[in-house]
A and B are shown apart, each in its own frame.
Chain A
Amino acid sequence: MNIQEPIRTPKFLDWDELVQEDKVHRLIYTDEAIFQEEMRKIWGGVWIFLGHESQIPEKNDFIRGKLGLRPIILTRDSGGKIRALYNRCTHRGSTVCREDKGNSKSFACPYHGWSFFNTGKLSGVPWPEGYSCDFSESKFNLAQVPHVKSYRGFIFGTLNLDAPSLETYLGGVRAPLDEWLDRHPGGTVAFCDANRLKFNGNWKLLYDNSCDGYHVIFSHRSLLAMENRQKVGADAAKGMAFYKNSPDNGPMFLKYFGNGHHYKDKRPALEKRPGALWEIEGPHPGMEHYEEKLRAKLGARADEVLDLASSEPININIFPNLHILGNHVQVSQPVSLTETDTTWWGTSVVDDNDQLQGCADDINALRMRTQESFPNFGELDDLMNFEQIQIGLTAEEDEWVYMHRGLGINDRITHAANGTIIAPSTDEVFLRETMREYKRLMSVEPNLAIKRDPN
């Protein structure tokens, strides 16, 4: 007997219909009106990662960026304060900054020459005698993001006047982020250019995959085959081999923290000793030379220093656009409903106090090459799959996307007293919980505002 499904028309923006416990409707990935709502309720309503302090280290440094689709200038103003200015002239709306980065005390609009200090204040307009208004009124100053805050070098902004503090928003995910930072000298890193990628798909497809341990041996089959062909004996534990056999039976796990943040920790599969990380690092250019050089210089300390050149086996996902994988800081940026940029910032170690005994440059020379590996040989296959999901979801009668792996199985998922959820690494609980948060955010109108500083 054939089982037939009638074709239904979902109620527009009915969130109980669109996001359910075990499945979400295809429309959240394909509907332009929903995307526009997301740009306001999520990409205006929660703390969004805007940039790293190492990108604007000096006064008057700036980078061009976006908050959702809003063009912004992230700058450290002449007084040293970090601001996210709207890149939009208050006169007729043109962008006032058209460079990706630089150092400037002011921004002049190329259209009619209105110019602004990097505090946002209007500094002057050509031929003011032609105006009867009072230009000292703050309405002529550049708009800016009302809340801009850093957490250990990571700069976030939100338009939501009712947003919790950044620390509260990050909540439990601060613990793995702190651990990731603390393994570096001085507890910090610097950005050092990026692997810049994009895909023709909705931004959520990337977030949905960010803690997914289920796809690895299928999506990354070519990478695993590449890593495995050199492995014999003890080397068999290298690279992505964490996922061999049934990864749910191994010691790695994922955690959900609330507010859409989660992480996957592969470190429990490693021995806890200096050098354990370096030993599982796959082959990369320069490893033989620099290892020899570092061992000759540092002796027994070389193992722990070499670990800094290795990818930390951890995925930290901070909703909705910041991911830390290995040593990368991956930032996603919606371009349109079906187009997303994903920029994998490389990070280098900064050794101001010479903890590494003059070896920071050698570590960074290794670290650049270890970081290039996954974007070149792994991420491309992920992005292809995201693009193909976007194509699959154009089939409008086939409505549902399922995310129920682990749901309803006793003793599989642990709910800790502090609200954290712990599950095996292939579980989709992280996705169900993120979608629950997504639904909550999309169901309310946030209290958004811009500000214009008078000075």
Chain B
Amino acid sequence: MKRETPSQKSYYVSDEWYQSLVDGYQDWQHPEAEITDLNTRDLVRRLLEKEACLLDETRLDDWLALYVPECAYWVPASLNQGDPRKEIAVCFDDRRRLEDRIFRLQNDFAWSQRPASRTARILSGITAYQSKYEEVIMVRSSFFTTEFHDGDWRKYTGWYGHRLRKSSENWLIEVKQVNLIDCDQNLRNLSVIL
């Protein structure tokens, strides 16, 4: 799937939206909120596995199609995640910036990706939690991503916090928070989308 024109405007990243993000990512992994419905659990697991597969295959436009229009890709630079309004993140992209990120990666002159990286992702421990909103599910999973680039091996590991939103009968990704275990350390050539 290929987009025709890039997003020109991006109105949704507002104070209220940031606040809902910060609030939504606080104190959410309660055992009593864990989703036990097998059908939902399976849908959630398949969505995350599909996401990992599309990233491994660098089908980035198809990957972005798993996200709601008003989405975020957030890699905090601190272990407590912080408030992205007050501190720098490793990455904090809205849809427009994600489109830019993908455009650059697909450009032949992005030298950090010449040659392109190959990645393999392993996901584990996928656990879904019901948020206070019926149409929003939070998901925690552990990841181990191996990157092979021009003779070098690199690894990224940590946990994802996905915020999913119900869209008709499907779940789509609203926010992907990537918590690297070494997010506060100097990282080498982090060009790939995590």
Interface size on A, residues (CB 8 A): 50
Residue A425, interface by CB 8 Å = no
Q: A193-B77, A195-B77, A285-B13 are in contact. Are A226 and B104 (CB under 8 A)?
A: yes
Residue of B nearest to A282 (CB): B100
Write the A245-288 contact mask toward B (1 if CB under 8 angstroms, else 0).
Answer: 00000000000000000000000000000000000000111111
- Asked whether A283 lies within 8 Å of B97 as measured between CB atoms, the reply is yes
Residues of A within 8 A of B53 (CB): none
Per CB-CB distance, the 5 closest pairs between chain A and chain B, nearest first, are A346-B88, A221-B109, A380-B112, A222-B110, A193-B87
- Asked whether B9 lies within 8 Å of A288 as measured between CB atoms, the reply is yes
Residue B91, interface by CB 8 Å = yes
Given contacts A283-B100, A288-B13, A364-B85, 6 further A-B contacts (CB under 8 A): A196-B184, A226-B104, A283-B96, A288-B9, A377-B104, A384-B189
Residue of B nearest to A218 (CB): B109
State in angstroms the CA–CA spacing of A73 and B31 once bound together.
41
- Asked whether A372 lies within 8 Å of B187 as measured between CB atoms, the reply is no
Residue B10, interface by CB 8 Å = yes
- Asked whether A372 lies within 8 Å of B89 as measured between CB atoms, the reply is yes
Residue of A nearest to B112 (CB): A380
Write the A286-304 contact mask toward B (1 if CB under 8 angstroms, else 0).
Answer: 1111100100000000000
Interface size on B, residues (CB 8 A): 45
- Asked whether A286 lies within 8 Å of B13 as measured between CB atoms, the reply is yes
- Asked whether B189 lies within 8 Å of A196 as measured between CB atoms, the reply is no
Residue B86, interface by CB 8 Å = yes
- Asked whether B86 lies within 8 Å of A368 as measured between CB atoms, the reply is yes
Residues of B within 8 A of A (CB): 6, 8-15, 18, 72, 77-78, 82, 84-94, 96-97, 100-101, 103-104, 107, 109-112, 114, 184-191
State in angstroms the CA–CA spacing of A392 and B89 once bound together.
33
Residues of B within 8 A of A381 (CB): 110-112
Q: A195-B90, A283-B96, A283-B97 are in contact. Are A383 and B112 (CB under 8 A)?
A: yes
The interface-forming segment of A7-15, A25-33, A197-205, A428-436 is: A197-205
- Asked whether A199 lies within 8 Å of B189 as measured between CB atoms, the reply is yes
- Asked whether B104 lies within 8 Å of A285 as measured between CB atoms, the reply is no
Write the A380-424 contact mask toward B (1 if CB under 8 angstroms, else 0).
Answer: 110111010000000000000000000000000000000000000
- 16 A-B pairs whose Cβ atoms sit less than 8 Å apart in the complex: A192-B86, A194-B77, A196-B185, A196-B186, A196-B187, A221-B109, A225-B109, A226-B100, A229-B6, A230-B6, A285-B97, A289-B11, A361-B86, A362-B15, A368-B92, A372-B91
Q: How far is the CB of A298 from chain B (nearest CB, A)?
A: 16
State in angstroms the CA–CA spacing of A17 and B103 once bound together.
46
Residue A342, interface by CB 8 Å = yes
**From B9, B78, B188, contact of A198 by CB (8 A):** B188
Q: How far is the CB of A111 from chain B (nearest CB, A)?
A: 25
Q: How far is the CB of A304 from chain B (nearest CB, A)?
A: 21
Q: A221-B109, A226-B104 are in contact. Are A372 and B14 (CB under 8 A)?
A: no
- Asked whether A198 lies within 8 Å of B86 as measured between CB atoms, the reply is no
Residue A371, interface by CB 8 Å = yes
Q: A285-B13, A364-B86, A368-B86 are in contact. Are A223 and B104 (CB under 8 A)?
A: yes
- Asked whether A365 lies within 8 Å of B101 as measured between CB atoms, the reply is no
**From A219, A362, A368, A387, contact of B87 by CB (8 A):** A368
Residues of B within 8 A of A193 (CB): 77-78, 82, 87-89
Residues of A within 8 A of B101 (CB): 376-377
Residues of A within 8 A of B82 (CB): 193
Residues of A within 8 A of B77 (CB): 193-196
- Asked whether A376 lies within 8 Å of B91 as measured between CB atoms, the reply is yes
State in angstroms the CA–CA spacing of A207 and B190 once bound together.
21
Q: How far is the CB of A370 from chain B (nearest CB, A)?
A: 11
State in angstroms the CA–CA spacing of A440 and B53 once bound together.
55
Residue of B nearest to A341 (CB): B186
Residue A330, interface by CB 8 Å = no
State in angstroms the CA–CA spacing of A383 and B191 once bound together.
11
State in angstroms the CA–CA spacing of A288 and B8 once bound together.
11
